[in-house]
Structure formats: structure tokens, C-alpha cells
Structure 1
């Protein structure tokens, strides 16, 4: 994947229209964006502006996701544009997201389910976390190439709901350290998108979000990335509580494990 790093600075504001300067260190481009009306205007015409016009969908998504309170004159952040990214496909939950780290590569892309690997080890995961009690549990099923299932559960504490979802995937991948092709089936968009979209960007922009804040759970994400090794990983999303057999089974066991939590770990 080709990733390009830019600096973005809000330099002026009038009637909720924010003038934004974008720079690659050599050239500058100026745009105007109204976060309330979601209106974007390119002010000048040069090569850098033409590039951002070609990546307008991706650029708009960043601006739309940026919190209103972070729009102010003087705000600065580094942003990353992926030149070949099909944003619509990545946002399509029916698509399978692929992370391919084989041969010292790091690439991600979206594919239709009918183009996914036919023979592949599968991991089904889910987690249950009681935020008020600050503990929970997770469960995952590993399905091998012959269709045999193995179920695993464990308790977690002091990590939060999202991290519990990550922990399930990490533990499953650790058990499949010698397997090169794996599909992770999850109801968590957090798990599905982290390595395929967010982490490559965070590595380039000092682990900052579009709001200028430090990304959360970086140590966990880096560990997730590490256990993927030089693997081919497919991430498939399923809707929670939709009678998907394996997901429902993982949900049931994750909840039972969370409820059985007693004392210190």
C-alpha cells in the first residue's frame, strides 16, 4: 500500500468556515470546510490540490469524523492518505478485509466473500465485559481445515470492552502461530479495521488520531500486529445476535466466563 504523509493546519475561520492548509513539505494546498454543513471547497489549483481532489472521498471522511470541538484556528495534525484505497469497499460490511503480511509485505484490501480463500483456518471470536465491575471474559472457536472445532475461553480484568475483543483475537492467533492463512470472523468493527486501516496510519503520524489525540490501546494493537507475523489474514464481520451459530456460541461462553469471574486473577 502506498501511504503519503501530510501536515494539516487550520489557519482561519469565518462563520464556521475553516480555512485549512495542507502541506507535503514542498507544496501547499488550501481548502475550506464547514463541519456543520459538511461543505468542502478547494481554494486553489495546483498538483497537491489535484491529488486531494482525486482522494476527496477519503479526505472528506477524515474531516467528517473529526470532532466539532477540535475545529479551531491553530489546530495542527499529521494526516495520512492512502493513494490506492477504495474507501467505499472498506466501509462495506459485507466485504472481507484482507491483511497480507507475507514476504515482508504489508498490504490490505477489501474483497467479496466469493473471492475469499476456500480452504482456510477460521477463528470465531467474541467478548463480554462488565464495565462497572471492570472485568469480563472472551471466547473463541478455532475451526481447522477438516471442520473440527476447538473452543477456548478466558477471563480478563482492567482492560475494557474493546481490548477484550482484541485479546480474544490475539490469543487465538498465538495458538495458530504456524498457520499462514487464517480468517477471523467477528462482530467487532474494532477488530476488523484496526490492522487493515488504522495501524498503518498511526505508525506514520506519531500514533495520533484526526482529533490530534493519542490513539488508544497502541500496545495491544502492536501486539496484535506482531502475532499476525507473516500471515495472510481475512477479517469477516458478522452482525451480533443475528443467529450466526459460531458467533452466538462464542457470545454465550464469553458471557458465562465473565459471570464466573471471582476474586483476583
Structure 2
């Protein structure tokens, strides 16, 4: 694996695959992303002890795009219609409506939508929706990474709560 400096040095298209999920909704959750370019791959994930599925889906895209150090052409794949439709159908209107819906309602997860919008404007991103749990290799990988991350953190919490002094 090359150093992180390699990510910003290459100007070829970057492919990002993302997923997020929770055990319970809300509940403990995780996000994961896989970045691929020129045959190189970098997978990573994060955990939140109390969150929602939608927040984790947004965090996956934010962290995936956040790895890129300079403007890139990106193909981002997500099984979340919430994220893909938000970025392709709604975000421009939300921005024009002072970050409110067309009926002047507050946008859920506004902090994350604004950060994702900032990153999206920095790059040339094409958003792709993929059906989850349908054999899409990269989506299955990031889904597995989400589940592993949640399990690892829950196992740590369980084992530390049973310590007898």
C-alpha cells in the first residue's frame, strides 16, 4: 500500500464505495468506505456509540471524499437512496431554500448534508446507487466492514463491563 501522499498525487478517476448501518436505529453504528484508484485500494471505517443508519450512510460518503487531498473525478457508490437522491435531486434546492425543504421544514442531519455538499463541490462526483445485499462485491465488502466495526466495538464494551476487581 502506498503512502497517503499517493492519493493526492494521482489524477485518475477515483472510485469510492460506501456503507453505513446500526444495530438498532438509533443505536450503535458504523460507517465504512473503500477507495480504489489505479489498482490500489484503501478501506477504512468508524464507529459511533449512538447514531442512526442515515447519519452513518452520510458519514461514509463524507469520510470517503474527505480522504482526497485535491480536486478529483470521483464515482461514488452507495446503497443508500437517502444519500444518492439527496445529492442528485435535493441538495441544490435545499441550498437555495436556506437549507430547508420546499415546505420550509428543517432538514434532518443538516450538519452532515452541509459537510457532504462542501466536499461534493470540491470534486467532480458522479453519484451511483447500488442495491444493497445483491451481490455487488464492493458493497458487500463495505457492508461487512460496517458489521465488523460495530461488532468489535460492542465486544470491547461488553468485555470491559464484565471486569471484576
Q: Under TM normalisation by the shorter chain, which class is it?
A: 0.7 to 0.9
Structure 2 counterpart of 1:163: 55
Structure 2 counterpart of 1:183: 75
More strand by share: 1
Task: From 3, 13, 16, give the equivalent of 1:123.
Answer: 16
1:10-36 per-position Cα deviation (integer Å, ceiling 9, x unaligned):
xxxxxxxxxxxxxxxxxxxxxxxxxxx
- The CA distance in 2 between the partners of 1:132 and 1:182, in whole Å, is 30
Q: CA deviation at 1:224?
A: 0.7
Q: Which runs of 5+ in 1 are unaligned?
A: 1-118
Structure 1 counterpart of 2:120: 228
- The CA distance in 2 between the partners of 1:187 and 1:132, in whole Å, is 17
- The CA distance in 1 between the partners of 2:87 and 2:127, in whole Å, is 10
Residue correspondences, number: 144
Higher relative contact order (CA 8 A, sep 6+): 2
- The CA distance in 2 between the partners of 1:135 and 1:190, in whole Å, is 19
Distance change in 2, residues 1:228/1:259 (3 Å)? same
Structure 1 residue ranges (4+ consecutive) displaced by more than 6 angstroms after TM superposition: none
Structure 1 counterpart of 2:42: 150
Structure 2 counterpart SS, 1:177: coil
Report which stretch shifted further, 247-256 or 123-132.
123-132
Structure 1 counterpart of 2:84: 192
Give the alignment's Cα RMSD to 1 decimal.
1.8
